[in-house]
Each structure stands twice: as C-alpha cells, then as structure tokens.
C-alpha cells in the first residue's frame, strides 16, 4: 500500500518580529502620488501670481521639493 503524499504550505522567506519597531521605521516611504505633485505645482503657480508658461518648471520644482529627503 502506498502512503499518500503530504502537502505542506510554503514557508515565508522573511519573518518580522512584531515586537521590533526598528524594521518598520527602516522601510522606505511610498512614493508621492502625481496628485500630490500636481497640487504642489499648482501652489507654486499661484505663488508666482498665476503667470502662465512655466508649468514644466513648476512641476519639476514640486517634484524636487516633495522627493527631497527630510532630515
């Protein structure tokens, strides 16, 4: 008589100790959404008095400000 094969569940590759908060603090923050960058670019546009023609510069500046690591 043949014995049935026992199927096992795959084991997780990484186990996080729930007591350790250091692991969670070291994780990178999610990238900001385009909506967040768009809002900041619009704020920059308004702060310039609403002058048209610099939308690309506003967008790039907003990205730099938002993505800049805070210390």
CA 3 from chain centre, in angstroms, equals: 50
Asked if 59 and 36 count as a contact pair (C-beta separation under 8 A), the reply is: no
The structure's pTM equals 0.54
pLDDT on residue 47: 96
Confidence at residue 68, expressed as pLDDT on a 0 to 100 scale:
82
- For residue 62, what pLDDT is reported? 96
Domains of the chain: which residue ranges? 32-67
Q: Which residues of the chain have pLDDT under 70?
A: 1-30, 69-71
**pLDDT the model gives residue 33:** 86
């Amino acid at each position: 008589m043949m014995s049935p094969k026992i199927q096992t569940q795959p084991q997780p590759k990484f186990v996080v100790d729930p007591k350790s908060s250091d692991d969670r603090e070291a994780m990178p923050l999610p990238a900001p959404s385009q909506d967040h960058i768009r809002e900041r670019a619009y704020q920059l546009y308004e702060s310039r008095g609403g002058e048209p023609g610099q939308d690309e510069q506003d967008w790039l500046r907003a990205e730099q400000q938002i993505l800049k690591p805070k210390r």
